Amino acid sequence: MRIIVFIFFISILVEISWSQDFQHKPGGQNLKNATIKNNSELLDFYRQYSQFTDPGEYVYLYENLPDSLPELCNLIRSQFIHPYAQLPKYREQIPKERWKEMFRYPCVKSILEGLTSYDSAGIVKERRIEDRLVLGCRHNSILLMSILKSRGIPARARYGHATYLIPDFHASHIVCEVWNDNEKRWMLVDPSVGMVDFSRDKFDFSNEVWLQLQKGEIDSRLYGIPNKYSGMGSIVAKLCGDLSSLLGTEHTITRYAPVLDFAFEEDKQLTAENIETLNRISELMKSLDADNFSKLQDIYINTPEIQITKSLDFSSKKN
């Protein structure tokens, strides 16, 4: 499994240098650094931009966008070509040097800059295929979140596995949770496929999958990306990414926590302490209220092994 994981990451990160100029610096609005006293304050923080969702000077592009979530999702989808699901169909229209540009646009500001470079109108309904960016689920999600946050609507990204993308498989995926203020609840929205307020049974939340794995209830080989990478590496990566996102930073796939070294190095493995920490995190994530949020913060801040601080870098390795 480790060899498969390693080969997968080499294949998708050969152009990682495109994203190295973007520094992952914790900002003042980063939830890992915030003090949350109650659930009202927690919602307020999910209204704030993160370093990845801040549109910067391109916020003006949001002024005339539709209000409804289905319309917003469809509009966002028309800006992108998915690198796996759609690119093979459009390779004659998209130059080869752009096929891995998901690493070129790590944040919303860079996405909006890229979109306007091809069409000055920005987020346009009838964007030409050749003017679309080759970006995936994370980019769809952070752009939707950015738009909603600009309107004062709490939103957060959830890293996990989807059951509705590939038959009989749990595919690596990132969706949004959006606050429904009328019903006082979080609802799932997948801008990549235009699904709004869909059943939570269709998305495998990272903490639930980890706990199921510990109980021996699932086959880890069915989680990840088929024929590329799957297994415990994918499950642990989603749990760490999900935790960081819930605490305010929606990291790119080029970043990972040291606990994941077991997926890249044959002499590494999860320790009993690692497993205990991941178990505790997963239990706390069952209820994401202000109290549990603060407990998750404390664990993250005091546990370097689960902090997303490492970068994949194959500059010294041969393909």
Alpha-carbon 279 to chain mean position:
21
pLDDT of 33: 67
Give the separation between CA 308 and CA 41, rounded to whole angstroms.
25
**pLDDT truncated to tens, each residue of the chain (319 aa)?**
443 333 333 333 333 333 444 444 433 345 456 899 999 999 999 999 999 999 999 999 999 999 999 999 999 999 999 988 888 888 888 988 898 888 899 999 999 999 999 999 899 998 999 999 999 999 999 999 999 999 999 999 999 999 999 999 999 999 999 999 999 999 999 999 999 999 999 999 999 999 999 999 999 999 998 877 789 999 999 999 999 999 999 998 889 999 999 888 877 889 999 999 999 999 999 999 999 999 999 999 999 999 999 987 533 333 3
pLDDT of 263: 83
pLDDT of 314: 39
**Residue 17 carries which DSSP code?**
G
Q: Considering only CA atoms, which of 114, 120, 85, 110 is closest in space to residue 98?
A: 114
pLDDT of 313: 59
pLDDT of 85: 83
In this prediction the pTM is 0.89
pLDDT of 7: 32
What are residue 125's phi and psi, to 5 degrees? Answer: -70, -40
The β-bridge relationship of strands 223-225 and 229-230 is: antiparallel
**Residue 194 carries which DSSP code?**
T
Give the separation between CA 221 and CA 226, rounded to whole angstroms.
9
pLDDT of 264: 80
What are residue 156's phi and psi, to 5 degrees? Answer: -150, 150
- Residue 172 parent element (H or E): strand 170-180
